[in-house]
Amino acid sequence: MSVLTTNYLTPTGREEAWRFTPLKRLRGLHDGLAIQSDRETLITKGALPSGVSFVRENLEPLASSDDVIIERVRGAATSVAHLAIAANTELAEPIFLGRSAGALDTAEFSRVRITLGTHAVATVIVENTTDTVLAEDLEIYCAPGSNLKFVTLQEFESKSVYTARHHAVVDKDATFKSITVTVGGDVVRILPTVEFKAPGASADLLGVYFATAGQFFEHRMHVDHAVPHAKSNVNYKGALAGKDAHTVWIGDVLIRAAAEGTDTYELNRNLLLSDGARADSVPNLEIETGEIIGAGHASTTGRFDDEQLFYLMSRGIAMADARRLVVRGFFNEIVSEIGNEEIQTRIMDRIDTELEKAAHHG
Amino acid sequence: MSTLEIRNLQVSVDTDNGTVEILKGVDLTIKSGETHAIMGPNGSGKSTLAYSIAGHPKYTITGGSVTLDGIDVLEMTVDERAKAGLFLAMQYPVEVPGVSVSNFLRTAATALRGEAPKLRTWVGEVKDAMEALNMDPSFATRNVNEGFSGGEKKRHEIMQLELLKPKMAILDETDSGLDVDALRIVSEGVNRAKAANNLGVILITHYTRILRYIQPDFVHVFANGRVVEQGGPELAEKLEANGYADYVSK
């Protein structure tokens, strides 16, 4: 593809897509001032089973993007890290990808592709654990009849800046389920987006995030129903604690005129655990046809439910333990969907730690 | 042998229309092994009494005292009251999403006993308690009170009463919403807890039917925030015949 090397429109913060993001903390990812490193840190953990390959190659983007950082990534990255799962391959065990190397003085611009062949079934887990500056264009193609569970764990160290688009193209009768966990980093901005290619496709987009003092986590969903009889479900849950903890959840769902028989629901719930934190939650449902099965959205932001705490404490459970139970319970609905005991325990323990930290700092 | 003493208890609650005084001086003494029925019309303050003793933050104590074996209950946090031996079976038990019954029970037992119960004996304990109340084993994996029917919620409350072994239990309209079979099962659970732990019981109810299953030693009639008449079980029979009209008009 030809790349325009000029005329990237640097966001000013007044654009709808950027109005919440603290641009000054993006370490130059958005305005071209970041120094590009040539590191390619995404690796696979363990040997790959048969039917699965992981290579760096040149691939055209699957879909266009109007995100300026994604455009910069496409201009800068020289190859695509491509995980391919061959048609009819059914994997019982998850494939682990991860980034555990990085740097803060330079930025990595990374393109990633995950391809599921026809009727392939797989779980892919991406573990991000380092301190780094990373802009990522991650695209997924689910071929007809395939089934992908895609788990991303943002467990970055505290100074990391991560901006990404996780874009899935879901073909006929394919099932895509993502679980996005964001618990670490200074600024994390993810665009989990889905487009349906043919009828019978479905997408389940789940996520949890926990921001403590000073952290900014943004999840900006976009689900494009352009074909008939596709199904989508979005459920993101967040908790915030500490001064200037800030989360943003935008849920854009577009049901185009052709998308008859669409069934969609999106939900975002936020738990404010202290003063001084801010949760923005904006569901947007745009409907161009009335011939649908269902379309709904809900968004709630609240504090601890006093009645829940009272009930637990009336059974002898101390306040701090009662709070921990309620927060764990709040996240459990989604974390338990990961389906990997070790990771679920790790994420829940991390949430406990964040909660404890928050309690100590008020 | 324990004694719960309530002396001249006065309680108010903040509403949109200002502070409302609900309890206007309640005196009650409950000893281990005794069952006190508190009966009265809706709005007489029965539930306020229950929640005030348990320490619900909504209620403000404006006067009087509550002591358990001479120790000031009102100074305690909610969990400390449970640790001291008080238990409230709620009329509307609260849903706690994402927290399984088994996790909840084990956390509560650990808090009350001061150490985690041994896993082997604990599993048996919970199984027995559930069976005794005709609860399906799948109950343990469900989230606390989430999607429970009215009867299931009440059985879950009484199961906790049997497992957590308090000294004094306040049962707030445990009979409401129960059919005859569920009422019998729940009542048997209360009677088992009484027999096993010499439990003292404050049984709050609007109707007399639960008293056919749980025999009260004393009956107190509550109206307009205070006890207006006291007696033995025969008082309940009088209420059954005449209703509360005599007390409300006073």
Query: Chain B partners of A326 at a C-beta cutoff of 8 Å?
Result: 96, 99
What is the overall mean pLDDT for chain B? 94
A332 contact B CB<8A: yes
Residue B159: which of B192, B181, B200, B114 has the closest Cα? B192
Give residue B82's identity as a one-letter amino acid code.
A
- Of A69-78, B56-65, B75-84, B232-241, give the lowest mean pLDDT range: B232-241
Instruction: Please compute the mean of the pLDDT values over residues B220-243 and round it to a whole number.
Output: 92
Q: Closest CB to B78: pick one of A313, A328, A332.
A: A313
Q: Which of A237, A269, A309, A312 best probes binding to B when mutated, by most B CB atoms within 10 angstroms?
A: A312
Q: Is the pLDDT of residue B195 over 70?
A: yes
What pLDDT, on a 0 to 100 scale, did the predictor assign at position A1?
A: 41
Query: Chain A partners of B97 at a C-beta cutoff of 8 Å?
Result: 329-330, 333
Query: In the structure, what pLDDT confidence band is assigned to residue A264 with cuts at 50, 70 and 90?
Result: very high
Q: Is the pLDDT of residue B133 over 70?
A: yes
Instruction: Please compute the mean of the pLDDT values over residues B223-228 and round it to a whole number.
Output: 94
Residue of A nearest to B113 (CA): A316
What pLDDT, on a 0 to 100 scale, did the predictor assign at position B42?
A: 87
Pairing of strands B218-223, B200-205: unpaired
Q: Is the pLDDT of residue B189 over 60?
A: yes
Tell me the pLDDT tens digit for each residue of A12-33: 999 999 999 999 999 999 998 9
Residue B137: which of B121, B162, B159 has the closest Cα? B159
Query: Chain B partners of A315 at a C-beta cutoff of 8 Å?
Result: 79, 82, 104, 108, 111-112, 160, 164
Host H or E run for residue A278: strand A278-287
Q: How far apart are CA B23 and CA B16, in angstroms?
A: 18
Q: Closest CB to B83: pick one of A316, A319, A329.
A: A316
- Residue A242 in contact with residue A277, Cβ under 8 Å? yes
Q: Is the pLDDT of residue A272 over 70?
A: yes
What pLDDT, on a 0 to 100 scale, did the predictor assign at position A361?
A: 60
Q: How far apart are CA A13 and CA B99, in angstroms?
A: 41
What pLDDT, on a 0 to 100 scale, did the predictor assign at position B241?
A: 87
- Residue B29 in contact with residue B5, Cβ under 8 Å? yes
Q: Closest CB to B96: pick one of A306, A312, A333.
A: A312
Query: In the structure, what pLDDT confidence band is assigned to residue B244 with cuts at 50, 70 and 90?
Result: confident
Query: In the structure, what pLDDT confidence band is assigned to residue A4 with cuts at 50, 70 and 90?
Result: very low
Tokens of A291: 């011939």
Query: Chain B partners of A330 at a C-beta cutoff of 8 Å?
Result: 97-98
Q: Which of A308, A314, A326 best probes binding to B when mutated, by most B CB atoms within 10 angstroms?
A: A314
- CA A233, chain centre distance (Å): 14
Tell me the pLDDT tens digit for each residue of B44-95: 999 999 999 999 999 999 999 999 999 999 999 999 999 999 999 999 999 9
Tell me the pLDDT tens digit for each residue of B87-132: 999 999 999 999 999 999 999 999 999 999 998 899 999 999 999 9
E strands present in chain B: 3-15, 18-31, 35-39, 59-68, 71-72, 86-89, 96-100, 143-144, 168-172, 200-205, 218-223, 226-231
Q: How far apart are CA B243 and CA B40, in angstroms?
A: 9
Q: Which of B73, B76, B92, B94 best probes binding to A when mutated, by most A CB atoms within 10 angstroms?
A: B94
Number of inter-chain CB pairs under 8 A, A vs B: 83
Q: How far apart are CA B236 and CA A171, in angstroms?
A: 70
Q: Is the pLDDT of residue A8 over 80?
A: no
Q: Closest CB to B111: pick one of A307, A318, A331.
A: A318
In percent, the amount of chain A with pLDDT more than 90 equals 92
Interchain contact, A314 vs B54, CB within 8 Å: yes
CA distance B62 to chain A (A): 21
Query: In the structure, what pLDDT confidence band is assigned to residue A6 with cuts at 50, 70 and 90?
Result: very low
Q: Is the pLDDT of residue B170 over 50?
A: yes
Q: How far apart are CA A251 and CA A193, in angstroms?
A: 10
Q: In DSSP terms, which residues pair with A218 in a beta bridge? A: A189, A248
Residue A272: which of A236, A298, A297, A247 has the closest Cα? A247
Q: Is the pLDDT of residue A301 over 90?
A: yes
What pLDDT, on a 0 to 100 scale, did the predictor assign at position A359?
A: 75
Residues B146-164: b if buried by 16+ CB within 10 A, e if exposed: eebeebbbbbbbbbbbbbb
Residue A54: which of A78, A77, A80, A81 has the closest Cα? A81
Query: In the structure, what pLDDT confidence band is assigned to residue A358 with cuts at 50, 70 and 90?
Result: confident
B114 contact A CB<8A: no
What pLDDT, on a 0 to 100 scale, did the predictor assign at position B246?
A: 81
Specify whether the backbone of B85 is left (phi greater than 0), alpha (psi in -120 to 50) or beta: left
Query: In the structure, what pLDDT confidence band is assigned to residue B242 with cuts at 50, 70 and 90?
Result: confident
Higher-pLDDT residue of A360, A275: A275
Q: Is the pLDDT of residue A312 over 50?
A: yes
What ipTM was assigned to the predicted interfaces of this complex?
0.96
Higher-pLDDT residue of A16, A358: A16
Residue B192: which of B217, B218, B212, B163 has the closest Cα? B163
In percent, the amount of chain B with pLDDT more than 90 equals 89
B112 contact A CB<8A: yes
Residue of B nearest to A305 (CA): B96
Interchain contact, A329 vs B99, CB within 8 Å: yes
Tokens of B140: 């343990």
Q: Is the pLDDT of residue A350 over 60?
A: yes
What is the overall mean pLDDT for chain A? 95
DSSP labels for B163-202? Answer: HH--SEEEEESTTTT--HHHHHHHHHHHHHHHHHHT-EEE
Q: How far apart are CA A63 and CA B180, in angstroms?
A: 64
Tokens of A110: 């990374």
Query: Chain A partners of B93 at a C-beta cutoff of 8 Å?
Result: 311
Q: How far apart are CA B55 and CA B52, in angstroms?
A: 5
Query: In the structure, what pLDDT confidence band is assigned to residue A7 with cuts at 50, 70 and 90?
Result: low
Question: CB neighbours (10 Å) of residue A92?
Answer: 8
Interchain contact, A314 vs B78, CB within 8 Å: yes
What pLDDT, on a 0 to 100 scale, did the predictor assign at position A278?
A: 96
Query: Chain B partners of A311 at a C-beta cutoff of 8 Å?
Result: 90, 93-94, 96, 144
Higher-pLDDT residue of A275, A359: A275
Host H or E run for residue A224: strand A216-225
Q: How far apart are CA B78 and CA B57, in angstroms?
A: 9
Q: B160: helix, coil or strand?
A: helix
Tokens of A270: 């936020």
Q: Is the pLDDT of residue A83 over 60?
A: yes
- Residue B9 in contact with residue B72, Cβ under 8 Å? no
Q: Give CA angle at B142 (B139, B147), nearest 5°.
A: 100
Question: CB neighbours (10 Å) of residue A261?
Answer: 15
Residue of A nearest to B82 (CA): A316
Query: In the structure, what pLDDT confidence band is assigned to residue A3 with cuts at 50, 70 and 90?
Result: very low
Q: Is the pLDDT of residue A2 over 50?
A: no
Query: Chain A partners of B107 at a C-beta cutoff of 8 Å?
Result: 312, 317, 321, 325
A329 contact B CB<8A: yes
A310 contact B CB<8A: yes
Q: How far apart are CA A153 and CA A156, in angstroms?
A: 9
In percent, the amount of chain B with pLDDT more than 70 equals 99
- Residue A117 in contact with residue A88, Cβ under 8 Å? yes
A331 contact B CB<8A: yes
B147 contact A CB<8A: no
Interchain contact, A316 vs B111, CB within 8 Å: yes
In percent, the amount of chain A with pLDDT more than 70 equals 97
Q: Closest CB to A317: pick one of B54, B108, B143.
A: B108
Query: In the structure, what pLDDT confidence band is assigned to residue B249 with cuts at 50, 70 and 90?
Result: low
What pLDDT, on a 0 to 100 scale, did the predictor assign at position A356?
A: 86
Window 266-305 of A, Cβ < 8 Å to B: 305
Tell me the pLDDT tens digit for each residue of A190-231: 999 999 999 999 999 999 999 999 999 999 999 999 999 999
Residue B205: which of B45, B38, B14, B59 has the closest Cα? B38
Instruction: Please compute the mean of the pLDDT values over residues A306-332 and round it to a whole number.
Output: 96
Q: In DSSP terms, which residues pair with A246 in a beta bridge? A: A216, A278
CA distance A321 to chain B (A): 9
CA distance B25 to chain A (A): 24
Instruction: Please compute the mean of the pLDDT values over residues B221-244 and round it to a whole number.
Output: 92
